[in-house]
Structure 1
């Protein structure tokens, strides 16, 4: 079934009015710096007010987005969970949610009064009153059960603040998920092997399809429609961060691209269905820009400068008509500085690569000379031995 249907006249009209209907990088007049950092043109459904409250949820890339939104002056309410960091053993990344259904769990626990879970039954007891929480970040292991339960209650309380947030930013991370058949819940993280050994029929590994992802997103939308801000808007994106490992019988990079493709297809279908949902192309900026300028040394995470460029690029259109000229200029200025910094870094890397290539050529020449000298030396030795005989 097509995601979108248009008449021929509407499609031609859209084509004519779309300034980016072709790949702008084919234009010979495009500046060099614009060739290595992609900045797609976006359509927006609403505008952000300077300093307004924003709720974010999703994978680890969402934490980068939060930090940069906070630097831009927005009230990112998720960051308040760290107010109780010491008392509840809250570690960085506690609110990372990797699959669409683990995000749905958070919305249900926070907003749906009819959604009841025996949360203690969802914890894996490791002995001595300690547990592993598969609905949190994987680092949330070996904590007292009471601490884990208190942490869940506190997180639910913090997440209820979503009701006063007009803008919700959701970052989709993984399509590989684990299902707890005993509680009827998807986990945020894979169950520990000892737990699987103890209850081998309890857990299932699922590769979600785009229809499954859309189902989770529609359920979140329905909850926000009932319990959320009366004028809620969703900004949806896909994390460019690669998965750590796959449970499928294939190379992790291939599995990762399949997973991201599923999420991206679902995001596109979901956006087409709702006028108050926009797609933020952070995934495309990261993957289609120069990798030297985007990726950190592990080729998994993104350089901080690149995150800054991505966040400011995708958020700038939401400020453009707000009238807060000072905030817009500040965002544009910082984005331009970040852009130029990335451009300078790429030039430095290219020069370094040129030097390394020259050194390589010099070493290859030296090795060749040494090999020839060695050959001549061996020939002379052989001749001396033969003359002696």
Structure 2
């Protein structure tokens, strides 16, 4: 019998052995055996801008990155990294409402936003059509086609990797429709009587994600979900506090949400991309000069760990993560949030 309950614990549970004694480049806090991916299963991605890195590396490593709705133009940089043309899905409410809209359970009041140039955009994916649309009717027709493809995606994927990004967001005061960007940033008119700021709490977000998982399993019983938390800090906060404090709340809350949902639902897993990038051992090296964008080395470290656990011993997949080529592509990630502080 051990002298105390901690005496015989494995090295991964000791800060001294698992963190201090591990070279920074070798740090891997992923729990072994959590998930495996086959090269034939359909793997979809969604979430914040960091999710686009996952999509690209899956494709380049020979896995089946599932695209139900192709990009507007072939080879259109980061747009190739969306499984459907929904753009970034920053909040949990956006995620569950996308599912509900795709299956006819929710029809938002908002239909189109007008831009300063007179063109129109979809309020729920305002940057997915750079040229905009000629009329609100054209927006509606494109949205109907898009949601049909999203239905197909959810009904036929095998695994969804979803990156939790933000707790803060904007909603229509009339029906609670969650928006990826505040009105006035890309289209629409800012009116505080029409739109309200929301900083979601843990209970609300756990409810959103579990409802999404249950809905997904209702149309696709075999679907698995891998949750991760974006390490990218907030660009701006609308909360009345320092952005550093706001960011700490956001990431802590999202991390708790991921843990609670993974514990509450089978075949929902957590992958620690947030921990890898923000670990004290990196001494900030995985953030670029703006202290927000994750460096190519940071992305490569995250994806090296992800692929090593997705397919244990698959050296070909791990070797595909070339940091130099990653450096050429990091700037191609579409990150709507950066527009807030442009």
TM surpasses 0.5:
yes
The CA distance in 1 between the partners of 2:126 and 2:308, in whole Å, is 31
The CA distance in 2 between the partners of 1:108 and 1:279, in whole Å, is 24
Q: Bigger shift: 152-161 or 253-262?
A: 152-161
The answer as to 2:185 corresponding to 1:196 is no
Task: Give the structure 2 partner of residue 244 of structure 1.
Answer: 235
Superposition pairs for residues 317-328 of structure 1, below 5 Å? 317-320=309-312, 328=314
Give, in angstroms, the shift of residue 165 of structure 1: 1.5
Residues 133 and 141, structure 1, Cα contact 8 Å, conserved in 2: no
Deviations 1:312-369 (A, max 9, x none): 202322212xxxx6xx02134446x759x99xxxxxxxxxxxxxxxxxxxxxxxxxxx
Superposition pairs for residues 209-288 of structure 1, below 5 Å? 209-228=201-220, 230-288=221-279
Residues 154 and 219, structure 2, Cα contact 8 Å, conserved in 1: no
Residues 182 and 190, structure 2, Cα contact 8 Å, conserved in 1: no
1:64 to 53, 61, 64: 53
Task: Give the structure 1 partner of residue 140 of structure 2.
Answer: 149
Q: What is the DSSP-based 3-state SS (H/G/I as helix, E as strand, rest coil) of the residue aligned with 1:81?
A: coil
Describe the shift of the 1:184–1:275 C-alpha distance in structure 2 as closer, same or farther (beyond 3 A).
Answer: same
Residues 47 and 318, structure 1, Cα contact 8 Å, conserved in 2: yes
Give, in angstroms, the shift of residue 212 of structure 1: 0.9
Task: Give the structure 1 partner of residue 73 of structure 2.
Answer: 85
Give, in angstroms, the shift of residue 293 of structure 1: 3.7
Give, in angstroms, the shift of residue 18 of structure 1: 4.1
The answer as to 2:126 corresponding to 1:134 is no
The CA distance in 1 between the partners of 2:154 and 2:194, in whole Å, is 33
Deviations 1:272-317 (A, max 9, x none): 1122111000000010041454122322111223212202202322
Give, in angstroms, the shift of residue 206 of structure 1: 1.1
1:178 to 165, 170, 183: 170
Superposition pairs for residues 280-359 of structure 1, below 5 Å? 280-288=271-279, 289-291=281-283, 293-320=285-312, 328-334=314-320
Residues 296 and 323, structure 2, Cα contact 8 Å, conserved in 1: no
Task: Give the structure 2 partner of residue 354 of structure 1.
Answer: none
Give, in angstroms, the shift of residue 127 of structure 1: 7.0
Residues 138 and 189, structure 1, Cα contact 8 Å, conserved in 2: no
The CA distance in 2 between the partners of 1:225 and 1:146, in whole Å, is 33
Superposition pairs for residues 19-30 of structure 1, below 5 Å? 19-25=11-17, 30=21
Superposition pairs for residues 2-13 of structure 1, below 5 Å? none
The answer as to 2:85 corresponding to 1:96 is no
Q: What is the DSSP-based 3-state SS (H/G/I as helix, E as strand, rest coil) of the residue aligned with 2:24?
A: helix
Describe the shift of the 1:138–1:128 C-alpha distance in structure 2 as closer, same or farther (beyond 3 A).
Answer: closer
| Structure 1: unaligned runs, 5 residues or longer | 1-11, 343-389
Task: Give the structure 1 partner of residue 340 of structure 2.
Answer: none
Give, in angstroms, the shift of residue 255 of structure 1: 1.0
The answer as to 2:194 corresponding to 1:208 is no
Residues 30 and 305, structure 2, Cα contact 8 Å, conserved in 1: no
Describe the shift of the 1:141–1:243 C-alpha distance in structure 2 as closer, same or farther (beyond 3 A).
Answer: farther
Describe the shift of the 1:79–1:38 C-alpha distance in structure 2 as closer, same or farther (beyond 3 A).
Answer: farther
Give, in angstroms, the shift of residue 37 of structure 1: 5.4
Q: Which has the higher helix share?
A: 1
Q: TM-score, normalised by structure 2?
A: 0.79
Residues 61 and 320, structure 2, Cα contact 8 Å, conserved in 1: no
1:115 to 106, 115, 126: 106
The CA distance in 2 between the partners of 1:103 and 1:114, in whole Å, is 13
Cα RMSD for the two superposed structures: 3.3
Deviations 1:192-238 (A, max 9, x none): 287233xx42221111000011011011011112112x221110011
The CA distance in 1 between the partners of 2:201 and 2:19, in whole Å, is 37
Deviations 1:136-161 (A, max 9, x none): 15576772234433442333233222
The CA distance in 1 between the partners of 2:88 and 2:68, in whole Å, is 12
